[in-house]
Structure 1
């Protein structure tokens, strides 16, 4: 029997795709920096935030995947049906700015991590990583590229391995997971940052559009509004894929926070600003191998996140403008789509070579993301609840509850972020 198939149903591994890649891309170098700061500064005290965000981020990503799979149209295209064009254009423009800054910060972190390992050449490595990522997106067909991204998620195991290498007080970990603790303004700021880096707009656009890609490349699949007989199997796949992908995202984030809490916080090293700072600080505390694992994890997660950031921007702009989009398309067939990917990536390199402080830029990127996420999530909830759009596949009461709860939490986080 084919191990990937049983009773005519795809095996578990084959069901993993857009949700897994989306969840793994959430742990980009910028996210690693945030989780490292949380662990180094507050020890195990903020682990509960990742327990709280899991059901919320899962609900939001389920909504985005459901919209794409049912309508065979990406999130931006569905938004354009219910919002005035100028509002969609404004939201997409802010997404472009935030994602480009994030790309620049991630590339800078990857270059800094490579320099830590090799000893020199951070700017050179930054450019190499960006160009390799760009070439893969432009010249490798989606069905192959998606496979590359799926296997690249294995790099996240480096952070799980890190936890297994260091001494951890598991009783304190258990307490940190279940007992909310916020001490001071800096802790509130970090909590807001965790929410902002965990529930990010680029992930909404990416997963929704990847579901459309899955339909477009497989002749056996159709928009569920046109093929109700496919619905049960597809919703099972989406649920499994998304729950698993978000679990991977949050488990890796927990591993980073636990690892840095058990090493850096325990040794008094709390002044972590970047992912590279965390890697460098680990070397004298946890040893050379832990340092290498952390550094290589930064590079690997960056190679996974850069195409998701650039691709989500291209999907959002292309769909809102009515362009042909899709990584399965050849460059000459979707010139505007690939132009956005190239511009986003090249501007990211420019940020690294410019006098702009990537940490300050990343802060403003987080602010933009936090503000933009709220109206986008609200519109997503409206779309997924509309029978005129979703037909008989509107979201369940439970999904709507958690989706609106996530929207409310992000609204509160955005208000706190702006206030602080």
Structure 2
């Protein structure tokens, strides 16, 4: 595939159509406009038939468009995910499987919103926050992302290190090799080549399914624990920390930034949103099946052994599996850990460099080669190198980082989700693609549940003498407050909508016309948009949430240090 100086695909003979779309949209990188070039096919920029086609043509179109949803979802089961799910299974058996079932709608709802944002706006998540809410809130979102992503990339290299050490290979060999491979995956100047590498890694990741079958789980017990929530040993700070870690590793903030930017980089426009929704849904199912398998393997293979209830690390789990379930299970677990670490490192590093490209307005696309986008690949390489070096430093607190980063992701997720919901209700940004009432209700429930979990963890850390019953009562009161607040917001939203429709009939007619042409609706250029109004109530709400999250952030670090020190 060749590109002209603007980065627009020229091999299809549709340069003019692509350039026209660039001139009319808010897209910041010219490489983000043109043919959709997927691992399994190409969709022309001027294709007007495939979006409504049926049969084999529809399947081939889906295969060409699929990718961002699969990569972000399977990348979710990264090194930290493998460790977290293994810890849940090894310490609590199959009793926490229910958390994975509840996270399915959370995953899909969040990622479907960023699919619409990416396809409709053509602008990354960080850039939208900066533009719509100002530098103050934009800086907060990017700083959160950068710190958390940097720590997450370190955990990916920890996973690489543990997998190599399982097979007796030294760290100083395995980690540099992994870093070089990750750079080579992304730096070929071909989106298609990178996506094919990701598909290869994703295919191997499916080894977790036969591995779970080989340990002969009790399927009735698995189904029961998936459907019926339970809290083994009662609700306490340690269990809450693990549940929040499961949430944080399953629905991480980096996923929002990555998929929105990857949808843009793949040149997916509103016409193809239904296909990308399917891609996301398939990814959600696969990642939750994989997560369940990773939990089930140690839960049943290590049951009734001295290793049960004594999780130390993913490496320790692999060694225990080899000792108690055979070398095949142990080796497969270690290989899945290595594979998951590579997928996660690639996705999380790209999430960060995409965001930095948006913020600093530099070329940021896998369609560019390092020569054409040097700053983009310099950021990418620097993140890999720094993370690899941290893992190689003797006596680095690797266990502390691995344990804490997943919980911190869960703590910071409410803030990321709030900005996501605000953007998806911004008619200037999404026009006819704004959230429906049902989506807003689900999103509100998700945010409030995450806040309640972090509140419970903070309370259990500050007041260690709180009983499980008191924590449950507190969660119940919080749920009631959230329900009442939701009713107030719903009524207020209805009244504002009715007022809007009565006072602006011409706009109502315009919106009706736009709805008929949703496929072609794109957000105008950013310099033509007035900044979103920040009411006093919204500022107070966001400020309160930010202050609380800082406190919760500190409390999680305190709890992790306590656990790491054995207190």
Does the TM-score normalized on the shorter chain lie above 0.5? yes
1:9 — aligned with what? Answer: 58
| More displaced stretch, 8-17 vs 337-346 | 8-17
- CA offset digits 1:206-248 (Å, max 9, x no partner): 1000110111xxxxx6x43xxxxx2xxx222122111110111
2:401 — aligned with what? Answer: 361
1:415, CA displacement in angstroms? 3.1
Secondary structure of the residue that 2:446 maps to in structure 1?
Answer: helix
| More displaced stretch, 267-276 vs 27-36 | 267-276
Kept after mapping to 2: 8 A contact 1:43/1:266: no
2:263 — aligned with what? Answer: 211
Kept after mapping to 1: 8 A contact 2:253/2:413: yes
> Structure 2 residue aligned with 1:390, among 419, 430, 450?
430
Secondary structure of the residue that 1:82 maps to in structure 2?
Answer: helix
Q: Distance in 2 between matches of 1:339 and 1:90?
A: 23
1:102 — aligned with what? Answer: 152
2:68 — aligned with what? Answer: 18
Q: Distance in 2 between matches of 1:65 and 1:71?
A: 10
1:279 — aligned with what? Answer: 318
1:80 — aligned with what? Answer: 130
Kept after mapping to 2: 8 A contact 1:163/1:255: yes
Structure of greater Rg = 2
1:227 — aligned with what? Answer: none
2:219 — aligned with what? Answer: 170
Secondary structure of the residue that 1:8 maps to in structure 2?
Answer: helix
> Structure 1 residue aligned with 2:108, among 55, 58, 65?
58
1:218 — aligned with what? Answer: none
| More displaced stretch, 156-165 vs 403-412 | 403-412
> Structure 2 residue aligned with 1:189, among 232, 235, 241?
241
Q: Which has the higher contact order (CA 8 A, sep 6+)?
A: 1
Q: Distance in 2 between matches of 1:403 and 1:295?
A: 36
Q: Which runs of 5+ in 1 are unaligned?
A: 216-220, 225-229
Quick check: 1:251 aligned with 2:289?
yes
1:89 — aligned with what? Answer: 139
Equivalenced residues, count: 403
| More displaced stretch, 240-249 vs 389-398 | 389-398
Q: Distance in 2 between matches of 1:127 and 1:412?
A: 41
Kept after mapping to 1: 8 A contact 2:242/2:407: no
Quick check: 1:343 aligned with 2:343?
no
1:337, CA displacement in angstroms? 2.0
Secondary structure of the residue that 1:265 maps to in structure 2?
Answer: coil
> Structure 2 residue aligned with 1:124, among 173, 176, 184?
173
| More displaced stretch, 51-60 vs 367-376 | 367-376
Kept after mapping to 2: 8 A contact 1:57/1:246: yes
Q: Distance in 1 between matches of 2:99 and 2:410?
A: 16
1:29 — aligned with what? Answer: 79
Task: Evaluate the alpha carbon distance shift between residue 266 and residue 18 of structure 1 in structure 2; reply closer, same or farther with a 3 A threshold.
Answer: farther
Q: Distance in 1 between matches of 2:304 and 2:190?
A: 47
- CA offset digits 1:345-386 (Å, max 9, x no partner): 111112101232112123342344233322221111111111
> Structure 1 residue aligned with 2:329, among 290, 293, 296?
290
Q: Which runs of 5+ in 2 are unaligned?
A: 1-39, 42-53, 462-567
Task: Evaluate the alpha carbon distance shift between residue 113 and residue 357 of structure 1 in structure 2; reply closer, same or farther with a 3 A threshold.
Answer: same
Task: Evaluate the alpha carbon distance shift between residue 256 and residue 292 of structure 1 in structure 2; reply closer, same or farther with a 3 A threshold.
Answer: same
| More displaced stretch, 364-373 vs 202-211 | 364-373
Kept after mapping to 2: 8 A contact 1:200/1:370: yes
2:161 — aligned with what? Answer: 111
> Structure 1 residue aligned with 2:88, among 34, 38, 46?
38
Task: Evaluate the alpha carbon distance shift between residue 315 and residue 98 of structure 1 in structure 2; reply closer, same or farther with a 3 A threshold.
Answer: same
Kept after mapping to 1: 8 A contact 2:185/2:197: no
1:267, CA displacement in angstroms? 2.4
> Structure 1 residue aligned with 2:276, among 234, 238, 243?
238
Kept after mapping to 1: 8 A contact 2:163/2:337: yes
- CA offset digits 1:18-74 (Å, max 9, x no partner): 001111000001100000000011111100000000111111011111100111111
Structure 2 counterparts to residues 316-335 of structure 1, below 5 A: 316-335=355-374
Q: Distance in 2 between matches of 1:69 and 1:378?
A: 20
Q: Distance in 1 between matches of 2:376 and 2:285?
A: 31
Q: Distance in 1 between matches of 2:197 and 2:290?
A: 20
Q: Distance in 2 between matches of 1:386 and 1:48?
A: 34
Task: Evaluate the alpha carbon distance shift between residue 416 and residue 323 of structure 1 in structure 2; reply closer, same or farther with a 3 A threshold.
Answer: farther
Q: Distance in 1 between matches of 2:433 and 2:150?
A: 34
Task: Evaluate the alpha carbon distance shift between residue 262 and residue 375 of structure 1 in structure 2; reply closer, same or farther with a 3 A threshold.
Answer: same
| More displaced stretch, 137-146 vs 234-243 | 137-146
Q: Distance in 1 between matches of 2:416 and 2:405?
A: 16
